[in-house]
């Protein structure tokens, strides 16, 4: 995909899938805006030409201001990637701390809503755009200790479907990506918990973050059109082949 001239904003871009995506989109020629709470960390890792912006996706005012800033600086916003997420709290539902549980929903679910809500007026005004959300297989089945994460990811997938239903006629391309298990800090946290089967997976068996990053770029092109309002899964060998992954 040639993304030259496209403005791409990525939440949670300081590490993991978000950072790999920033690098992949920059390599494809896009003007990348990296969003996150720690602008110092963003700046240290930003690829050449990328800009950074402070943004806590759990805070509506932060997201709204970030989108307004991007639109003012660049005159448009072609792609918004809902990537920011947290696996915590990991633990039984019966003993979950309500504040920690709510914070996970604020980031993983409300953060996705905030992204959609902030970019839709901009994308409508310019005649269209793409919103990609990094989802999870956890959206489809419960896992021990992951009640907040599974709940939020299921809701985020429904937001993609709802956005497609309401906004496709206005030019919105809304797609979710289920990347499988990815070799990031989140997987290290899962490993440390020792809870459920995912924590037992050898770190070397997780796919590299470059795989979902390259897939996100691919989803911006015609290959993603068959998945509008739905979810692309990197567990699908035909998807990996289409993207050109080993």
Active site residues: 149, 153
Q: Strand pairing of 7-10 and 79-82?
A: parallel
**SS3 for the chain, per residue?**
CCCCCCEEEECCCCCHHHHHHHHHHHHCCCEEEEEECCHHHHHHHCCCCCEEEECCCCCHHHHHHHHHHHHHHHCCCCEEEECCCCCCCCCCHHHCCHHHHHHHHHHHHHHHHHHHHHHHHHHHHHCCEEEEEECCHHHCCCCCCCHHHHHHHHHHHHHHHHHHHHHHHHCEEEEEEECCCECCHHHHHHHHHCCCHHHHCCHHHCECCHHHHHHHHHHCCHHHHHHCCCEEECCCHHHHHHHCCC
Encoded tokens for 228: 């509008």
132 contacts 178 by C-beta, under 8 angstroms: no
């Amino acid at each position: 995909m040639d993304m030259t001239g496209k403005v791409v904003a990525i939440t949670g871009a300081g590490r993991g899938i978000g950072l790999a995506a920033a690098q992949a989109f920059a390599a494809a020629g896009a003007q990348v805006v990296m969003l996150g709470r720690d602008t110092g960390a963003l700046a240290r890792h930003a690829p050449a030409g990328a800009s950074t912006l402070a943004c806590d996706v759990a805070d509506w005012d932060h997201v709204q201001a970030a989108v307004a800033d991007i639109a003012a600086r660049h005159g448009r916003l072609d792609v918004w990637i809902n990537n920011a997420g947290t696996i915590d709290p990991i633990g039984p539902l019966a003993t979950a701390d309500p504040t920690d549980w709510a914070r996970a929903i604020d980031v993983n679910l409300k953060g996705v809503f905030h992204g959609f809500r902030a970019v839709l007026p901009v994308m409508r005004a310019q005649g269209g755009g793409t919103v990609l959300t990094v989802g999870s297989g956890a959206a489809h089945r419960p896992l021990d200790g992951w009640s907040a994460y599974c709940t939020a990811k299921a809701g985020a997938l429904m937001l993609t479907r709802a956005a497609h239903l309401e906004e496709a006629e206005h030019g919105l391309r809304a797609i979710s990506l289920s990347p499988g298990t990815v070799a990031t800090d989140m997987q290290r946290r899962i490993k440390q918990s020792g809870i459920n089967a995912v924590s037992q997976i050898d770190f070397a068996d997780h796919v590299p973050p470059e795989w979902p990053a390259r897939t996100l770029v691919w989803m911006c092109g015609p290959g993603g059109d068959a998945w509008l309002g739905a979810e692309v899964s990197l567990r699908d060998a035909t998807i990996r082949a289409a993207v050109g992954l080993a």
